[in-house]
Structure 1
């Protein structure tokens, strides 16, 4: 895991999706602002980025992962989600399942290097949710639709024989973090912990940073993702905040604001060199997560977090 290029060659960001469209001409900037308003779903959910992301989904087998399956889930509104469940045989005493919700581009196959760390190094089962309209899942993504998808996945984990008796941790990156906040707020009695990486306050507060010409349209955005407004409602679920301080898309101040408004037990961890897409490749990233999970499952308080074990530090 020496660089983000070797770990995540396929992952793109909303920033890279938009930056080629930003031009010096004021007239074109206004036109692009209008396109952002009318085509905001296509821009917020660039599910075809990179090329082939809707048709080519890498499988766990391609990464040398043996114990896994494709899990097809039908949502209450009729969409079919094609997800991956990776089971672990290492340190099963942890008894943990991680529900992984990724960022806004690519597909679940592109996140398998991350999932493999959870299953092979940390000893967790991990379920990677494929949102509607992403990868091989049917439908079109929307804020309302993704929340249905997340609830469908959690309900499955709570009833599936291999995961029903485990502690459920919700892990979200960027857009996935916003989704994780909404899911946990509605299921606080079913979740052991929440892990957030480089997540924004809301889409409306993010637009001026990502696409300045559209800042005056931000209030008209119908894809809201109100993380800042929702997070204080989470009272009994511990939250780990992982902030890449060189994030070029979501200003680190967004994560700091979310930390400040969080009223539940919380833990702040900075990754000084982390950018939006490679924070998870920074030193100590997985150590912080392992410490958080093992501390909660062992019944310790957040003040009693111990250094990660040597084998995890070698991730």
Structure 2
């Protein structure tokens, strides 16, 4: 999220404002791509799990120095990448990390702003290993190796494509999928969770709506508002865990509180005292809360 001058705000909401313009101004900062996805040389085709007789091209992940990958080649070999297509015609880069063989849950992770899959890959490996989950993630349109440009409508189509890939390519059932959204990633996460039931939803530093970020005194949702999480979160029927830093300088702590109050099935939230927008993961209670939630609070398998 960015700060704005009075002149910029006036231009932003001029005659008439539209969600796409608000979304573009408030949210999207695609970084220079830190990876590429290329076809494997001399790789034979193979059957794709969950697709019957479908044949799947094999792809390889190439990381640049900007990815700052912290693990071994063996770990890198456990990362599968491929491209899928959204309903809006964009090619979406996807990444599946087998962190823990035989893990019950897979996190469908929608990352924050100004990062891509290459930069997140080390974090995903570390997180999944520690909380005993595999992780599936994707890049938004215009991020990383994904085509198109970032927009609110594309966010929703992007996560739909990711959800479909998790379900069909890997045959993972909704009751074994955790939807995890961080910052701007809470927007597609809330939208998808309001339409599909899953094991649980985790909202990390979430926003209530674009207008409420730009204008903190906003009390209602206008027709031209972007990212209206506040209007969708009550439709989520899965358990919802909200994590927010009390000193968040980008999305105020009040956003997390407001969403928590609107949830139909909230669990004990994690308010990280003193944490900002980008450092919650450095606090010990972050991993502790995730571990307890996943291992103790979710229904056991029949």
Identify the TM-score tier after normalising by the shorter chain: 0.7 to 0.9
- Matched residue, 1:180: 189
- Matched residue, 2:203: 196
| Residue correspondence of structure 1 range 33-72 to structure 2 within 5 A | 33-37=9-13, 40-48=22-30, 53-57=31-35, 58=63, 62-64=69-71, 65-66=75-76, 67-72=78-83
- The SS at the match of 1:42 is helix
Query: Is residue 2:136 matched to residue 1:127?
Result: yes
- The SS at the match of 1:266 is coil
Runs of 5+ consecutive residues of structure 1 not aligned to the other structure: 1-13, 23-28, 301-315
Larger helix percent: 1
| Residue correspondence of structure 1 range 1-315 to structure 2 within 5 A | 14-15=1-2, 18=3, 22=4, 29-37=5-13, 40-48=22-30, 53-57=31-35, 58=63, 62-64=69-71, 65-66=75-76, 67-90=78-101, 92=102, 94-161=103-170, 163-164=172-173, 167-188=176-197, 191-209=198-216, 219=222, 222=224, 224-235=226-237, 237-299=238-300
- The SS at the match of 2:264 is coil
- The SS at the match of 1:267 is coil
TM (norm. structure 2) is: 0.77
Q: How many residues align?
A: 260
TM-fit CA distance, 1:140: 1.2
TM-aligned CA distance change 1:130 to 1:84, over 3 Å: same
TM (norm. structure 1) is: 0.74
TM-aligned CA distance change 1:252 to 1:269, over 3 Å: same
Supply the distance in 1 between the matched residues of 2:23 and 2:243 (Cα, whole angstroms): 27
TM-aligned CA distance change 1:238 to 1:56, over 3 Å: same
Runs of 5+ consecutive residues of structure 2 not aligned to the other structure: 15-20, 36-62
- Matched residue, 2:43: none
Supply the distance in 2 between the matched residues of 1:267 and 1:292 (Cα, whole angstroms): 9
Task: List 4+ stretches of structure 1 deviating above 4 A.
Answer: 58-61
Supply the distance in 1 between the matched residues of 2:232 and 2:173 (Cα, whole angstroms): 27
